[in-house]
Amino acid sequence: MHISFSPQLRNDALTISKSGDVLTINGKVFDFSVVGEGDDLPEVAIVESDFVEGITTRVDGRLHITLRLPYSRGGHVEAPPPLIDPSDGVLALPSLDEELPHAD
Amino acid sequence: MPIDLSLLVTAEDKAAAARTRIEAAVNAERQRRIEAGKVIDGVHVTGRDEDARNLTNLALAAQMRISGGDTTTLTTYRDGNNVDHALTPPQMLALWQQSSAYVSDLYAASWAMKAMEPMPEDVTADELWPAVSGE
């Protein structure tokens, strides 16, 4: 599984656990094994969560999915690197709300 | 159901849609080439509907003349470059025959392209179609 992140300024939080191609996003279970090789699952097909962004697809057997990653601090936020083939279990998501280092 | 599977676009759906798009492009290119026509024995024969109807009528008249033993009466044919050509009945008939054969060749080329697997990406490539000038 290849999980990319798209930072989004919002007030809620995101927790994800993974079991194979099944992601549990904030308690809702999404079985992405329905996405076959070369298939496209558009964002609008994810009816019970707005954390999935764009098209979810499968390339060379690997599911590619983009998740909106919440942050609440101001300033420019870079997208963190993707998670590639994370182990099953609760995913350690990057935090976008850490203190920025002071320039002085 | 947290995922609406009716919105899933399968790889087969995508391939079929791509094929439909390419087939439409083949048809459009075929029609463009029919209308653009071909230079036959120095005569630029265009293939818009009115051009084809005109040439068919001239060929019919030429055939009647030939049947009556007239092979010399000249008929003016204005070509796609607005050049007038004085043609005998056999020349007019030959022009129609070659023009008709060219359109048949264009159709055959388009059918061959649609049968290719995979279909060509650029269906406008000249090498996929009959030559537009010659003879």
pLDDT digits (tens, 9 = 90+) for A39-76: 999 999 999 899 999 999 999 999 999 999 999 887 78
Would A84 be classed as within a structural domain?
no
Would A58 be classed as within a structural domain?
yes
pLDDT of residue A95 exceeding 60, the answer is yes
- Asked whether the whole model's pTM tops 0.80, one would answer no
Task: Please check whether residue B85 is in contact with residue B77, taking contact to mean a CB–CB distance below 8 angstroms.
Answer: yes
Q: How far apart are CA B77 and CA B85, in angstroms?
A: 5
Tokens representing residue A53 in the block: 């962004």
Q: Per-residue pLDDT for chain B (135 aa), expressed as one digit of tens each?
A: 789 999 999 999 999 999 999 999 999 999 999 999 999 999 999 999 999 999 999 999 999 999 999 999 999 999 999 999 999 999 999 999 999 999 999 999 999 999 999 899 999 999 999 998 764
Would A7 be classed as within a structural domain?
yes
Predicted local confidence at residue A70, as pLDDT: 93
Q: How far A88 CA lies from chain B's nearest CA (Å)?
A: 20
Task: Please check whether residue A17 is in contact with residue A23, taking contact to mean a CB–CB distance below 8 angstroms.
Answer: yes
> Coil, strand, or helix at residue A5?
strand
Would A95 be classed as within a structural domain?
no
Q: How far A30 CA lies from chain B's nearest CA (Å)?
A: 6
ipTM here: 0.83
Would A89 be classed as within a structural domain?
no
Domain that holds residue A53: 2-73
Would A99 be classed as within a structural domain?
no
A44 with B4: Cβ contact below 8 A? yes
Domain count of the fold of chain A? 1
Would A62 be classed as within a structural domain?
yes
Would A82 be classed as within a structural domain?
no
